[in-house]
Chains A and B, each alone.
Chain A
């Protein structure tokens, strides 16, 4: 755990979180079995900091995301966003979740095929009191920011490519000016050439707005571009964390060593 001075100014703080899924085997037998996916996770992120959570399948990274987004209540521990426990009340959760811009993994599943891009982009603004003109202006700004033409607003998702959809989703996440950008494998379902475009786009946005970034990915090489600090998850536990260069150059854990090796450019 990297300690940063000045306790309160954390943007996100995950404290001793143990979370998992309850499975009700049948209606008649009320016994529920609990399978823990995350065990005693600690994580903190300050304003403007970029952290990558690296984990492969079964490491619990998706569960961690759900916990931070307030979709899965941990059995132990708490999640603070700007000092606010998001599981204390629905109001607190709503306030906290507005500070998060979430970019999901698969752009093809994240936009409703029967709803225009414009409606999808308006959705995050619906709960706030904005006038119609303001909403339109904000949408157009967001679309311009991610480098898409304005005509896109009138399209349905099916007429856009994966890279463009991912840009739309980034615009959607940005529209509320979030303090935290939560990226869930933002490039894993894209081609390499579009992947580079998206990485560069996120970096430009970061340099303009300096929001905190929490990236969840399995790809160390992508994480290198989007984060300074890295946390390596395996089977629900943090096995290694530190600054990116330190972890890559001197991996302490056997698994990290293996992981780093598999990304090195050397013939087998």
Chain B
């Protein structure tokens, strides 16, 4: 595969710079997302109580459960006396890990199968599209429940269940784009030069299909976070002590009247992060949609 990384990087950087200049929405979104990313990367080093963050309940002498936010515990402590700040901070890396893994893996599967469906027409296309339909109809949570039963809770459950539903979405988007690309003469003519099919798919089809699908994936980051948090909140994904925003929100649910901060703080983080990703995705989509590339596009 000969996708030149430097040229791809340059185009990404220049696109980001152009959109940055034009859209307020993009600026706000990018600032939020960069802040969260920075937190996620730095969290293992700056967490004040790492063991509590990872779910260990502190010893009885130091256990101050249900403490409201203070200087010692910035976000207070939860019902079992763990420092909420540490848990939420570590939760940011969990969130990003889930997003990147889910979107990345589904993107690879979806792009491959979608492009194959469009290139090899006939039965292959028909059956792959059927498969896509089936997986589009399945809710992630329905897959998560049996997976958790079989393999026990953990990251693998949430990633596997969400990838199984999200790849179909990218598969469909990719096959729609690929179908119009495969109509083009630049896919037919190499066939006449006797080039093998896989070379044509990689060089011509994949290269033209992936940019729009990747943009689509970026706009989905927020939705992936929301869905993953929902599954975790319901307790079908990660174990109950894991530092994840959805899980923490669930922990605080029974104490919502007495200690509202336990649920509200991770909830707030979920909201802000999802909003940041949607703002970026929205601005990118508007910018790349040729119909909206007019003077009238809103500055915001």
Q: What is A's interface to B at a CB cutoff of 8 Å?
A: 27, 69, 71, 94, 97-98, 100, 102, 104-106, 109-115, 119-120, 123-124, 126-127, 172, 176
Contacts and interface: CB of A to CB of B under 8 A. Distances in A.
Contact of A110 (B126, B186, B203, B208): B186
* B: contact size bracket: 10 to 19
B186 A97 contact: no
B190 A114 contact: no
Interface in B181-211: 184-186, 188-195, 199, 203-204, 207-208
Closest 8 CB pairs of A and B: A110-B185, A124-B193, A112-B186, A127-B194, A104-B185, A114-B207, A109-B185, A94-B194
Nearest to A95: B194
A123 B185 contact: no
A115 B184 contact: no
A102 B192 contact: yes
B186 to A, nearest CB: 4
Given A112-B208, A114-B208, A115-B204, A97 B189 contact: no
A253 to B, nearest CB: 32
Contacts of A126: 193, 195, 199
Contacts of B208: 112-114
A115 B192 contact: no
A109 B184 contact: yes
17 contacts: A27-B126, A94-B194, A97-B192, A97-B194, A100-B192, A105-B185, A109-B185, A109-B186, A110-B184, A112-B186, A114-B208, A115-B204, A123-B195, A126-B193, A126-B199, A127-B194, A172-B189
Interface of B: 126, 184-186, 188-195, 199, 203-204, 207-208
A112 B186 CA distance: 6
B194 A112 contact: no
Nearest to A111: B186
Contacts of B188: 71, 104
A94 B208 CA distance: 26
A97, A105, A112 — most chain B CB neighbours (10 Å): A112
A112 B193 contact: no
B163 to A, nearest CB: 27
A251 B203 CA distance: 48
B190, B192, B194, B199 — most chain A CB neighbours (10 Å): B192
A126 B193 CA distance: 8
A123 B193 contact: yes
A71 B296 CA distance: 46
B204 A112 contact: yes
A106 B184 CA distance: 10
